[in-house]
Amino acid sequence: MTFLRVSLAALILVIMIFISYFDWVATPTPKPNTGVASQSATETARPSEPPRKKKIRYSKNWSGAVNTEPPSGYFAAAGMRFTVPKTLRPDIVKGNSDYYAASAWVGIDGLTHGTALLQTGVTIEVNKTNSEEVTYVPWYEWWPNIAMRLDIPIGGGDEIEVEVVMFNATSGKILLWNRSKGDWVARALQAPRPDAKLAGRSVEWIVEDFALSEGGNVPFGDFGVIELRDCKAHTSTDKVVGPDPSQPFYIRQDNLTRTNTSVEGQSVSIQYLTTTKF
């Protein structure tokens, strides 16, 4: 009996050790609290931001993209590249007029600031009173002053880079560079009058059916498709942003949609609609 009691006690001890071993193996060792969450925990905990709903904005003269929300500070510079079209056909709505045109430009403060706009770009035009050929007019403007022509040669198919810079409310700079030919021109500018101050509230990448001095819009030449590339804006706090994809601008005149705009990353594509949409 003594032997059986000893053997039974030994057996119970072995079973308890066996169970304790597996209980230790199955229980994970707690990690030290370093105050830094693991990557997987961080990914899970990060709230997902729903994409902003696309809202098409119609304009009588603008097609393209804007950004009205600097992440911090204010917009201090904006730029882009584009290839000027080799051909320009007459306005599909207004017919074969003697003059028709379109203009591609980048600007600061064109949308939300009513007292000033700094912009530079290229106008593509046909003036049949002079020639049947397409001509290209580089220009800059600190609105409300009139646009001023830049003396730099541009031909069909040339790649153009444009930039506007706001130093402060009353001074800035424009740059236009013909990357295909290697020519460039820059202008340091001052506000044309005391109340024409920049604020850096918005930036724009636009193809425009611009207004005539006598009223109305110029006959809008058919450019096909213009791709605005490397559309970037820099803020006063050194942040870099692109166009806002949630609010593309379409040109709409007399209940007819004249352009289609798509925004992908830093690219803005503007298509001239040869079949107008109501």
Over residues 11-64, the pLDDT tens digits come to: 444 344 343 433 333 333 332 222 222 222 222 333 334 455 678 999 999 999
Q: For residue 112, what pLDDT is reported?
A: 86
pLDDT of 234 higher than 90: yes
Q: What is the pLDDT of residue 212?
A: 87
Task: Identify whether 271 is part of a domain.
Answer: no
Domain region containing 209: 66-243
What confidence tens digit (pLDDT) does each residue in 15-28 have?
A: 443 434 333 333 33
Radius of gyration of the chain (CA): 31
The number of domains in the chain is 1
Q: What is the pLDDT of residue 275?
A: 72
Per-residue model confidence (pLDDT) at position 12: 41
More confident site: 212 or 9 = 212
146, two tokens: 């009139």
**DSSP of 73-111:** S-EEEEEEEEEPPS--BPBTTTBS-SEEEEEEEEEESSS
Contact status, residue 249 vs residue 59, Cβ threshold 8 Å: yes
CA distance 161 to 172: 17
Residue 39 lies in a domain: no
Instruction: Note whether residue 42 is domain-resident.
Output: no
266 in any annotated domain:
no
> Which one is predicted more confidently, 39 or 249?
249
Rounded to two decimals, what is the model's pTM? Answer: 0.80
pLDDT at 114: 87
Q: What is the mean pLDDT of residues 62-74?
A: 97
* Phi, psi angle pair for 22, to nearest 5°: -70, -30
Q: Does 45 fall in a domain? A: no
Read off the pLDDT of residues 89-127 as tens digits, 9 standing for 90 and up.
Answer: 999 998 879 999 999 999 999 898 889 999 999 999 999
Considering 208, 214, 227, 264, which one is annotated as catalytic? 208
- Asked, for residue 257, whether it belongs to a domain, the answer is no
Residue type, 224: G
- Percent of the chain at pLDDT exceeding 90: 71
> Residue 235 domain-assigned?
yes
Q: Please tell me the predicted confidence (pLDDT) of residue 277.
A: 57
Residue 21 contacts residue 14 (beta carbons within 8 Å): no
Q: Which of 228, 198, 190, 44 is nearest to 115 (CA)?
A: 198
Task: Assess if residue 26 is contained within a domain.
Answer: no
Q: Which of 49-53, 129-133, 233-237, 258-262 is predicted least confidently?
A: 49-53
Q: Is the pLDDT of residue 80 over 50?
A: yes
Whether the pLDDT of residue 180 is over 80: the answer is yes
Q: Helices (H), strands (E): how many in the chain?
A: 2, 16
The 10 Å CB-count burial string (b at 16+, else e) for 154-165 is: beeebebbbbbb
Active site residue 125: no
pLDDT at res. 269: 98
Encode pLDDT of 142-172 as tens digits: 999 999 999 999 999 999 999 999 999 999 9
Give the CATH number, domain containing residue 180. Answer: 2.60.120.700
